[in-house]
Amino acid sequence: MTDEEKVVEGNRIHLLAPKRSATALAESAAKAKVTRAMQGFVQDTFSGYQRAQNELVEVIQAPLSSPEAAPARAERLAALCLTYRELWPYSYQDSKDLKTVGDVMQEAKRLDPGGKNGATCEIVQLMLSGRMLDAQGLTDSMLVEDSQTPVLFEIRGDLYLYTRDYKSAATYFSQASSLWKAWQKISVQEARANRDLKQFPQAMNLYRQVISKVPTHAVAKVELGLIEGLQFQHYDDSLGLLTTALDGKEKIPAQIEEAGTFGVATIQEKRGQTKKALEYAKRTLALNPSSLGAKAMIERLGGKVEDAEASTDQGQLSYLAEQDVRDGDYFAAQAKFKAAYEANPKNGVPAMRAGYCLWLLNQSADAIEWTKKAVLTDSKLTSAYVQLASYYALRYDYASAMQVLGKIQKLQPKSYEVYRGYAAVELQRNNWDGAINFANRALKIYETDLETYLIMSKAQLGKGQAEDAQRYASRAIELDFNNTEAHSLYGKSEARLRGVDSGAQYIQG
């Protein structure tokens, strides 16, 4: 592991990418490493996930011993994708990390194109890219086919938490737990759902079970401590849990650290410990400069907000911005993404996301300028180039769109995203043959890309080739049964082939 990939206390990490190795690894040694990886994984701690990542990468980068070993490799790739998901809050979340996840996903889908391992990696990639609705659709499709995979239930529950449907989330977490009791995250997630349903005794019991099994589980301690102190006024128990978690060696996500720190401040204020309350309020503001509660407390206790050192943690600001995206508050989101970019102007992802939000606010000129910043900041951020090209094309500036894609193609000549970007631009200007040509190139690199199949179906419809359009729509449906656009394209193709009534019957059925 390079120095860049090592974790330094207080710093973020880069996800560890498998690299091709010529050194063979005996299957017995590989199984031992996978066992150690899963032992770390189920603890649901930062250090446990780090161990899991390191062990899995060593196994995966060894050459395949035979074609028969492919299913086991796909399963291990899925485990690595799930590990990346858990390490994501601690990562830089930049183009390098996005590429690491994308490369592992492509390999998993190559080895398991229609199976749950490839789908698991794709779901993770969609979630980490902020495409929650797409992740939800694919997860629902997989659950129809496979009702015995606990991680799918956990992910679906997480997506319900994302939309604040806590009752459904609790149901899915309970099912996941019945299938895999060892993974402590499931219990933490179920506890969160119960907490948000105001079912505090059930939540507390689940948190305590986690802590009894993993005494170093700092997240469970923080969240249990907040309930103890803020809901039941058990201040001593609460402070004991919170301070041991916040001051311990185990890293926790920034937003949970912020909640725990402000919880200590709140409890200390209630106990009349003004000095301690002020100290923790300032620590909260250092973690999140946008915390209105911390600012109000500092002023209320006679402190000065400007004395609190503002955080420059781009990851925390981006996390808060993504929460605003979830809530549909794109104005607030773009402001936070801009602040995140200013906090770390070497990471183009927040600038790209700011551009995305500005586009949704119909501020197309600003959206283009911020997406340009992302491209200029990080020349390897492929998705920013594709986004910029899309915005140009939607403004009918096809020359600029093609120019942008030409630049990234020189840097990433084998990127399916770039070819798909070309296809989307050609589709936008009704060049059906051009769209089909570029989409075919994208599919040769990544043959299970849903979006490319949708482009192919639209282009074939544009050419009047309804049978081919339906074939590509059908393939898209195979990849994601719940994708409404794929079904719509299939129905349109059906109408062209067999009449409007047949098409309408398909859509209604």
3-class SS letters over 232-287:
CCCHHHHHHHHHHHHCCCCCCCHHHHHHHHHHHHHHHHHCCCHHHHHHHHHHHHHH
Q: Which residue carries 């659950």 as its tokens?
A: 143
Q: What is the pLDDT of residue 21?
A: 82
Q: Which residues are CB-contacts of 197 (< 8 A; sequence separation ≥ 6)?
A: 166, 167, 170
Nearest to 151 by CA among 126, 129, 128, 119: 119
Show which of 113, 131, 149 is a domain's final residue: 131
Asked whether the predicted pLDDT for residue 1 surpasses 50, the reply is: no
Which residues constitute the domain of residue 92? Answer: 1-131
Assess if residue 263 is contained within a domain: no
Q: CA neighbours within 13 Å on the CB side: how many for 291?
A: 30
Assess if residue 346 is contained within a domain: no
Average pLDDT over residues 385-404: 96
Name the band, by pLDDT with cuts 50, 70 and 90, for residue 317.
Answer: confident
Q: Which residue has the higher pLDDT, 133 or 124?
A: 124
Assess if residue 236 is contained within a domain: no
324 and 337 in contact (C-beta within 8 Å)?
Answer: no
Asked whether the predicted pLDDT for residue 312 surpasses 80, the reply is: no
Name the band, by pLDDT with cuts 50, 70 and 90, for residue 508.
Answer: confident
Give one word for 293, left, alpha or beta, with left for phi > 0 and alpha for psi -120 to 50: alpha
Q: What is the pLDDT of residue 129?
A: 87
Q: What is the pLDDT of residue 313?
A: 65
Asked whether the predicted pLDDT for residue 188 surpasses 60, the reply is: yes
Strand partners, 91: 13
Assess if residue 219 is contained within a domain: no
Q: Which of 87-101, 318-332, 381-395 has the lowest mean pLDDT?
A: 318-332
Token pair, residue 356, equals 């995305």
Q: What percent of the chain has pLDDT over 70?
A: 96
Show which of 110, 131, 152 is a domain's final residue: 131
Q: What percent of the chain has pLDDT over 90?
A: 77
**What does the mean pLDDT of the chain come to?**
92
Q: CA-CA distance, 456 to 453, in Å (whole number)?
A: 5
Q: What is the pLDDT of residue 319?
A: 78
**Total domains, the chain:** 2
Asked whether the predicted pLDDT for residue 88 surpasses 70, the reply is: yes
Average pLDDT over residues 311-339: 82
Give one word for 310, left, alpha or beta, with left for phi > 0 and alpha for psi -120 to 50: beta
pLDDT digits (tens, 9 = 90+) for 58-72: 999 999 888 888 999
Assess if residue 357 is contained within a domain: yes
Asked whether the predicted pLDDT for residue 367 surpasses 80, the reply is: yes
Asked whether the predicted pLDDT for residue 114 surpasses 90, the reply is: no
Q: What is the pLDDT of residue 64?
A: 87
Assess if residue 494 is contained within a domain: yes
Q: What is the pLDDT of residue 308?
A: 60
Average pLDDT over residues 219-232: 97
Q: What is the pLDDT of residue 5?
A: 39
Q: CA-CA distance, 152 to 142, in Å (whole number)?
A: 8
Name the band, by pLDDT with cuts 50, 70 and 90, for residue 146.
Answer: confident
Average pLDDT over residues 69-80: 95
Asked whether the predicted pLDDT for residue 262 surpasses 60, the reply is: yes
Q: CA-CA distance, 357 to 345, in Å (whole number)?
A: 18
Assess if residue 503 is contained within a domain: yes
pLDDT digits (tens, 9 = 90+) for 153-164: 999 999 999 889
Q: CA-CA distance, 276 to 398, in Å (whole number)?
A: 59
Task: For residue 414, give the CATH number of its domain.
Answer: 1.25.40.10
Name the band, by pLDDT with cuts 50, 70 and 90, for residue 227.
Answer: very high
Show which of 131, 157, 181 is a domain's final residue: 131
Asked whether the predicted pLDDT for residue 444 surpasses 50, the reply is: yes
Q: What is the DSSP letter of 12?
A: -
Token pair, residue 348, equals 């183009």
Average pLDDT over residues 230-256: 94
Q: Which residue has the higher pLDDT, 483 or 256?
A: 256
Average pLDDT over residues 239-255: 94
Q: What is the pLDDT of residue 57?
A: 97
Assess if residue 321 is contained within a domain: no
